[in-house]
Structure 1
């Protein structure tokens, strides 16, 4: 980040409370998923659970893949008890209370002797965490006009990375010193700043207006209309584009499910894992995000998307190399850095691509739909990853996850070469709809 960019960043943060609120909400948004998925797998590994069980536990994040089903309802109806705060803010605080309660429940569990308890509260954490994401995304889209969305997204991504750091490095450091119960109770307490950010956040004017005058469609229509509009607008390219979105992060989801068991099998401590993956990895991931923001306007979105597809999949070879030659701390740091940098770059470019396809009228629901589609294939395959890793070993497992990305890269290249101009027109159509939206 240049000195001028950093100065503008802090100026906006101090001058408009919406950006400060977005930073805090981003932190809250970045925590739950990691605590029910990656971080928790370290606890499960220490509890001596089989790899097959650890892999299946990743299915507890299914709510993040199905959130498009209830996203329209959060747009249409007020939350119980807290509706006076505004629809968005009321739902955000309601979801955050659910996250804190679920984390507290997990803290008092013991996966080694009462796995069902951990499964129950982890399942609840996935549902309320996904709900929080839906409402925060809706608030972000409607809080500022279209021309300020890029800046708002910068604060959102920065906060999200901080949340991931807290739920990753913070949770692992605390667990290393005081145990997992204290760690998860501290994570529950960390939702309080998120609630303060929700109170600080002004309810978007467009939501206040819609709360009074919006027609509430039936459940089926509310879910179906955003899907129908997106598919109709994409036309003949709908199937290849949606296949690209569905396959883009599939190798990453499968790889992530077995990354922590790999690190534990190489006898790295919780403190070492936190230092490399979260502390050092925090800066590496931000580097990948900033590189993406630099390259997209210069190379074009589809070229950057192709680079992200290839880099995101190929980076898993670094984990295969670590599995074969691990042991030294520097090897651990190098392998994780390569994977984290590529993962961050690929994730940001994919978010940019999906955002460009969303119609402003259905932005929240369509974005939830595309993120669900992106996560679904990898979600199911990640649950089976433990069975594959148990039979092939970690070296071949991570090599295979890299090869999965080849068909996705080929599809991305075909879209770029054959239909690049059509995709640009679709992006401009969605942008025009955003300009027309009443902010």
Structure 2
């Protein structure tokens, strides 16, 4: 690390911004994938319907379509990045609070409309926060900054997945909804206090440049065939664990666990597993490189699904719940850190915002569209067979590593995200 001590690189305002914006990014997503399914299941909404509601997450898959618009146009207040942050966060606070006004048993259509809007503004917030983070971090702080961001993103799940779940065990669900919305103030206050990262004139001068150039560079870099192979890999690598975790909260409830037990035992175990996986993964990648990490972490990610197979057989057991959920998210953490590093390496620094929006959008396709079918699969085959299916669905992504990331390829340069065409 040049001209900077390790302490200076870690203990600075930029790292704090990465933490608070990471928390703000993760909170709406975990509301949608952890809290809302439990809320609906408590009202006896069937699993097929809950699974289909995952389709409202489609903005995370298609956000690259409007990321050039947010890159091109500057709002008349707060600046190019902060202006869009402010708008998306105000809308999220309003919409998340509005959920407290509806009853799933009688007003499911209204709820679907609101969670769809939350999904759109959450994905939009991610676009601008990703761009802001890349602009404020010097190259020698990219690793640390993104690690802090990822950890805060995951830790935000404690609010809808633990705190709010516990509150729902003692108070009306409306109180739990409002408690989640209050925590979005972390992001809003951050937006009001930070400085703008973009200077006037930095934005693309035409919408055509903002839209065309990032995609043109990516598909011409190594040929369109290689680009298609990479996008297919992004879909398949985490397919198995995305399916396995899509309806895990209703799964825990159907095994007999209360919302308080889920919010304490399962949530703590999952957070510990994901945190350990991310930290160990980040350290191991220094020696292993990205390609070998994709192989080794992918194996952990694959095997970890079997923990849910065991829980589905054993049923109501606190120890098995803790072990299965912790082991599953150890694999999730390892696989995620490797995949994010791969996407970063494959991003041209000149087009970071739009290209990373494209890559991350493609990577969440399993969570959005494939996971929508999980309710039907569970009701047709049962939980044990479902998780076995998830295990086999994870195999194609591993096999693609033979082409995408050969084991004996030349080691990558640590911390590098640029890639020449």
Cα displacement string for residues 87-145 of structure 1 (whole angstroms, at most 9, x for unaligned residues) = 11111111111111110111111111110111011001000111111111010000122
Q: Which residue of 1 aligns with 2:241?
A: 252
Q: Which residue of 1 aligns with 2:207?
A: 218
Kindly state the Cα deviation for residue 12 of structure 1 after the two structures are TM-superposed: 5.6
Aligned counterpart for 1:197 among listed residues 190, 193, 197: 190
Please state if 1:396 is matched with 2:385: yes
Q: Which residue of 2 aligns with 1:131?
A: 124
Scaled by the length of structure 1, the TM-score of the pair is 0.89
Q: How far apart are the structure 2 equivalents of 1:331 and 1:377?
A: 27
**What number of residue pairs does the alignment pair up?**
416
Aligned counterpart for 1:229 among listed residues 207, 211, 217: 217
Q: Which residue of 2 aligns with 1:116?
A: 109
Q: Which residue of 2 aligns with 1:19?
A: 15
Kept in 2, the 8 Å contact 1:104–1:184? The answer is yes
Indicate the structure with greater helix content.
1
What secondary structure is seen at the aligned counterpart in 2 of 1:417? coil
Residue 44 to residue 215, structure 1, CA distance change in 2 (3 Å):
closer
Q: Which residue of 1 aligns with 2:335?
A: 346
Kindly state the Cα deviation for residue 165 of structure 1 after the two structures are TM-superposed: 1.7
Kindly state the Cα deviation for residue 364 of structure 1 after the two structures are TM-superposed: 0.9
Kindly state the Cα deviation for residue 167 of structure 1 after the two structures are TM-superposed: 2.4
Cα displacement string for residues 68-105 of structure 1 (whole angstroms, at most 9, x for unaligned residues) = 011111111123xxx33111111111111111111011
Q: How far apart are the structure 2 equivalents of 1:13 and 1:290?
A: 15
Q: How far apart are the structure 2 equivalents of 1:348 and 1:222?
A: 28
Q: Which residue of 2 aligns with 1:52?
A: 48
Q: Which runs of 5+ in 2 are unaligned?
A: none
Moved more, 256-265 or 234-243: 234-243
Q: How far apart are the structure 1 equivalents of 2:141 and 2:10?
A: 13
Kindly state the Cα deviation for residue 317 of structure 1 after the two structures are TM-superposed: 1.3
Kindly state the Cα deviation for residue 428 of structure 1 after the two structures are TM-superposed: 6.0
Residue 8 to residue 147, structure 1, CA distance change in 2 (3 Å):
closer
Please state if 1:417 is matched with 2:406: yes
Q: How far apart are the structure 2 equivalents of 1:262 and 1:213?
A: 48
Kindly state the Cα deviation for residue 155 of structure 1 after the two structures are TM-superposed: 2.2
Residue 260 to residue 215, structure 1, CA distance change in 2 (3 Å):
closer
Q: How far apart are the structure 2 equivalents of 1:313 and 1:224?
A: 37
Q: How far apart are the structure 1 equivalents of 2:250 and 2:202?
A: 52
Kept in 2, the 8 Å contact 1:320–1:395? The answer is yes
Q: How far apart are the structure 2 equivalents of 1:167 and 1:362?
A: 33
Please state if 1:318 is matched with 2:307: yes
Cα displacement string for residues 168-214 of structure 1 (whole angstroms, at most 9, x for unaligned residues) = 1122112122121111111111111211111222211xx21xx3254
Q: Which residue of 2 aligns with 1:104?
A: 97
Q: Which residue of 1 aligns with 2:258?
A: 269
Residue 140 to residue 86, structure 1, CA distance change in 2 (3 Å):
same
Q: How far apart are the structure 2 equivalents of 1:419 and 1:64?
A: 34
Kindly state the Cα deviation for residue 424 of structure 1 after the two structures are TM-superposed: 4.4
Moved more, 102-111 or 390-399: 102-111
Q: Which residue of 1 aligns with 2:162?
A: 169
Cα displacement string for residues 208-253 of structure 1 (whole angstroms, at most 9, x for unaligned residues) = 1xx325443235x533321221121133532322221121122222
Aligned counterpart for 1:43 among listed residues 11, 17, 39: 39
Q: Which residue of 2 aligns with 1:181?
A: 174
Q: How far apart are the structure 2 equivalents of 1:317 and 1:304?
A: 21
Q: Which residue of 2 aligns with 1:3?
A: none
Kept in 1, the 8 Å contact 2:233–2:404? The answer is no
Kept in 2, the 8 Å contact 1:73–1:222? The answer is yes
Kept in 2, the 8 Å contact 1:63–1:126? The answer is yes
Please tell me the root mean square deviation across aligned C-alpha atoms, in Å. 2.2
What secondary structure is seen at the aligned counterpart in 1 of 2:257? coil
Cα displacement string for residues 326-384 of structure 1 (whole angstroms, at most 9, x for unaligned residues) = 21110111111110111011111110110011001110111110111111244211111
Residue 193 to residue 117, structure 1, CA distance change in 2 (3 Å):
same
Residue 51 to residue 297, structure 1, CA distance change in 2 (3 Å):
same
Alignment of 1:288-367 (within 5 A): 288-367=277-356
Residue 378 to residue 285, structure 1, CA distance change in 2 (3 Å):
closer
What secondary structure is seen at the aligned counterpart in 1 of 2:394? helix
Q: How far apart are the structure 2 equivalents of 1:365 and 1:152?
A: 19
Cα displacement string for residues 363-407 of structure 1 (whole angstroms, at most 9, x for unaligned residues) = 011111011111124421111111111010000001101101111
